[in-house]
Amino acid sequence: MRLHREGTPTLLLTIAVVCAALFALWNWPVLPKPVIIVLTAGLLAVFGIIVWFFRVPGRNVPKGDDDVLSPADGKVVAIEEVQETEYFNDKRVQVSIFMSPLNVHVNYNPIGGTTSYYKYHPGKYLVAWHPKSSTENERSTVVVKHPRHGEVLFRQIAGALARRICTYSRAGEPAQQGSEFGFIKFGSRVDVLLPRDATVTVKLGDRVSGSESVIARFNNMA
């Protein structure tokens, strides 16, 4: 396991603050020792949580050209037919995955092909499971065109705690299935919009792993 590069500024700042606080607590003790011990444990716990948040575990990407992989770790909170208005302007099947602050927050390409669209949208910070978060929150939209099955849209959505979406995809660049395309800091959500004839292989409440869990399969050749 390694730590994500997006965490470097946060981790450096946290180390500086924790070290300064610990130095002050133990070198200028103005509190009873039991209180100092409790505060020390609390500071170390906070640092541990931040390190845990920016972890990047190794993944075993399954080999399936007809498979759509989960773009994120988390819980499936929506499976529904929606009218997509940003890119396709038609009906799509949406699978939404909510990432809690304890989940890995790396985002992965669900299919392979060529990135055909990318756009960042500033917006609100509604809770990630809010019905309007897909269209009103800060978000980034990416579309990848599969060489056989056409295009799939996936959208990073900031939540109430998230304040930064990182997206590395750009139009015209290759996209490898299961490879990293972005990162969202703290609680957030990723929507995947599939062709209506795709077969969804997960159900509401399922826990999925980014780049490992198959969430859908294509049924036709575009």
Q: What is the pLDDT of residues 24-47, one digit of tens each?
A: 999 887 888 899 999 999 999 999
Structure tokens at 35: 């209180």
Ranges of residues in the chain with a pLDDT under 50 are: 222
| 3-state secondary structure at position 87 | coil
Residue 162, pLDDT score: 56
Residue 89, pLDDT score: 95
Residue 188 annotated among the catalytic residues of the structure: yes
What does residue 147 show for φ and ψ, rounded to 5 degrees? -65, -20
| 3-state secondary structure at position 69 | strand
What pTM value is reported for the model? 0.85
Residue 64, pLDDT score: 83
Whole-angstrom CA distances from 21 to 18, 38, 51, 140 are 5, 13, 18, 37
How far apart CA 66 and CA 62 sit, in angstroms, is 11
Residue 63, pLDDT score: 80
Strands (E), the chain: 2-3, 55-56, 67-69, 74-84, 90-99, 106-108, 113-121, 139-146, 150-158, 165-167, 174-175, 180-184, 188-194, 199-200, 207-208, 214-217
How far apart CA 77 and CA 187 sit, in angstroms, is 14
Annotated active-site residue in 188, 209, 211, 213: 188
